Amino acid sequence: MLKTQSAGEPAAATSVAQYDAVVVGAGFAGMYTLHRLRQAGLSVRVIEAAPQVGGTWFWNCYPGARVDVESLSYSYSFSPELQQEWSWKQAYAPQAELLEYADHVAQRFDLHRDIQFETRVVSTTYSAELDRWTVRTDRGDRITTTYLIMAVGCLSATNVPDFPGLGSFAGSWHHTSRWPREGVDVTGKRVGVVGTGSTGIQAIPVLAEDAGHLYVFQRTPNYSLPSKNSPMDPERERDWKANYDEHRAFARMSPTGSNIGLLRDISALSVSDAERSRIYEEAWRIGGSQLLRSFNDIAVDPEANETAAEFVRAKIRQIVRDPDTAELLTPRDYPIGTKRICLDTGYYETYNRDNVTLVDVRSDPIEEITPQGLRTSAEHYPLDVLVFATGFDAMTGPLLEMEVTGRDGLALRDKWAAGPRTYLGVMTAGFPNMFMVTGPGSPSVLSNMTTSIEQHVDFIADAIEHLRASGAARIEPTVEAEDSWVEHVNEVADRTLYKRANSWYLGANIPGKPRIFMPYAGGVGTYRQVCETVVAKGYDGFALQ
Ligand code: FAD
Ligand code: NAP
């Protein structure tokens, strides 16, 4: 049966259907894409693996999960009414509140009827003959579409390291991004956490409160700043609601898409030691990531960066009572800010608890998981619960988990074998009418992602509207434009300190993954201007036919 669906018609499950647009993913990106494309009069089907909207904020329901950008800023800006009616309860919303928000948005804009949940896209194939994509799902659906929008997220493909013996573990083990919705009772239990990235740093203080004993298996220490989360200040909320336009305009043109701009346009090295300490101390007291924006050269000058890094190291020594533990927690071999900065609530303080032990798995690596626990090269740790806060196959992982085949049978996996190649992070040559929201080569994970998501979705929706208005059937970047963008992304990264850390930005966390700096480090505002210029020049760098 071939079924053509028109805009507004309910999304009944069919085995073959045709749409103007298929969107993969119903996180913040997929939800807004649906809204925009529906407004443009397209028939749209969203396919989502989860049973509900929210993406990241559905999957990551581990204890302590919370946003690292103020919620007033980490939220949709496209609807003034939505901004006015929604009230955040906390300055940095916890996962449950963000999920509630996502659900509210879906209800308010009537999104559910065009989303097919609990369905995973397994392949997408372009036919030049039909000028359409065929999308296949794990439920056996076959859907054809003119436009394919990958809103699969940058951090949705989980990474569980291949530890020998994991299958034999007699206790329960969980990746933080697949945390059981009913929770995990760790009361009085021996709990092991592997990983001290943003996730581990959020989960560890909360797990420590209930665990009988918590073992933290740390390979690389991270820099973490206090979020100083608090209940929403009514005065602050009133100010934002009265001035949302200005706040959003600021974020859109700022380097990070957020509302913390550069605090001083001077070098960290241009002030006295005492003055610099006073400035960092004040940023630490206020909380959030603004310590990194205290001066204009922390991200680019190693010596300036070292002043901020050393300030945080001193804080660790001040907070953590045991000097050996403090030393182990101290990052020394990469600059601060070259991995996404962690924000915490009581992370370093947690190591002062009697029921918490930090285990160095850099010097004594994890050798195996046994039925009773975890063995390092030095010791066996009996455990009841094992938590993997081991991150994601970031940016390319969710796209390459599917079989994506473009023109002339070109597989995305093959095209990207040596690393992702895109134009503006939004399209890749050889894959006509296939768009990526916050793809590799866009600011994405270096930003407040709600700002980046809206900008990308607007770019994509505008491009589709332009195609339809001009009668063009397809859009695709030229190879030349793509090559020069890839080169530019690299050049910009080389001007920063990012490549000095073994981070997931570079794919360094996944064995065998090409080591390429994936996001665009030129800043959200600059990137927006580039996109606007591309459009003003008639989609410069794209071929429209
Ligand atoms: P996601 O929210 O990841 O949604 C993608 C959706 O696509 C998922 O629901 C997934 O199930 C679905 N999907 C993927 N592949 C398929 C497939 N083949 N078939 C069907 N469905 C599929 N960013 C910030 O700016 N600030 C933060 O504080 C912040 N905190 C974060 C905390 C955590 C724990 C994590 C993991 C990420 C965080 N991020 C943060 C990044 C976050 O991912 C983005 O802010 C944003 O939520 C991404 O939205 P998205 O819709 O692009 O992707
Ligand atoms: P991550 O930053 O990649 O951290 C993974 C941790 O697991 C690292 O400490 C890593 O050690 C460790 N690890 C991985 N494999 C290991 C192995 N085989 N043996 C021992 N240790 C291993 O992942 P994440 O913490 O989930 O964060 C990912 C991103 O999601 C963040 O950078 C951020 O963008 C986002 N996030 C944001 C928040 C927030 O604050 N709102 C919360 C969670 C996540 P190495 O460093 O040595 O590789």
User: What is the 194 CA–ligand 1 centroid distance (Å)?
Assistant: 21
Atom of ligand 1 minimally distant from the CA of 202 = 34
- The domain of 466 spans 16-157+394-544
Probe ligand 1: pick from 143, 148, 152, max atoms within 8 Å of CB? Answer: 152
**Phi and psi dihedrals of 30, rounded to 5?**
-65, -35
Q: Are 376 and 349 in contact (CB under 8 A)?
A: no
User: What is the 156 CA–ligand 1 centroid distance (Å)?
Assistant: 6
3 falls within a domain: no
Among 355, 388, 421, identify where a domain stops.
Answer: 388
Same domain, 463 and 482: yes
Question: Which distant-in-sequence residues (6+ apart) come within 8 Å of 500 by Cβ?
Answer: 334, 335, 338
**Phi and psi dihedrals of 445, rounded to 5?**
-70, -5
Query: Ligand 2: which residue has its CA nearest to atom 6?
Result: 195
7 falls within a domain: no
Ligand 1 interacting residues, C-beta cut-off 6 A: 24-30, 47-50, 55-56, 60, 65, 67-69, 74, 120-121, 151-156, 199, 398, 402, 437-438, 448-449, 453
Closest listed residue to residue 255, CA positions, set 30, 55, 443, 57:
443
Among 337, 360, 388, identify where a domain stops.
Answer: 388
Atom of ligand 1 minimally distant from the CA of 59 = 9
Same domain, 380 and 406: no
What count of residues does the chain have? Answer: 545
285 falls within a domain: yes
pLDDT tens sequence for the chain (545 residues) = 233 333 334 444 445 899 999 999 999 999 999 999 999 999 999 999 999 999 999 999 999 999 999 999 999 999 999 999 999 999 999 999 999 999 999 999 999 999 999 999 999 999 999 999 999 999 999 999 999 999 999 999 999 999 999 999 999 999 999 999 999 999 999 999 999 999 999 999 999 999 999 999 999 999 999 999 999 999 999 999 999 999 999 999 999 999 887 788 999 999 999 999 999 999 999 999 999 999 999 999 999 999 999 999 999 999 999 999 999 999 999 999 999 999 999 999 999 999 999 999 999 999 999 999 999 999 999 999 999 999 999 999 999 999 999 999 999 999 999 999 999 999 999 999 999 999 999 999 999 999 999 999 999 999 999 999 999 999 999 999 999 999 999 999 999 999 999 999 999 999 999 999 999 999 999 999 999 999 999 999 999 99
Give the angle 392-393-396 at the CA atoms, nearest 5°.
135
Atom of ligand 1 minimally distant from the CA of 53 = 9
**Phi and psi dihedrals of 255, rounded to 5?**
-60, -35
Kindly report whether the global pTM for this prediction surpasses the value 0.85. yes
Beta partners for 193?
Answer: 216, 387
Among 388, 405, 435, identify where a domain stops.
Answer: 388
Same domain, 362 and 401: no
Same domain, 210 and 352: yes
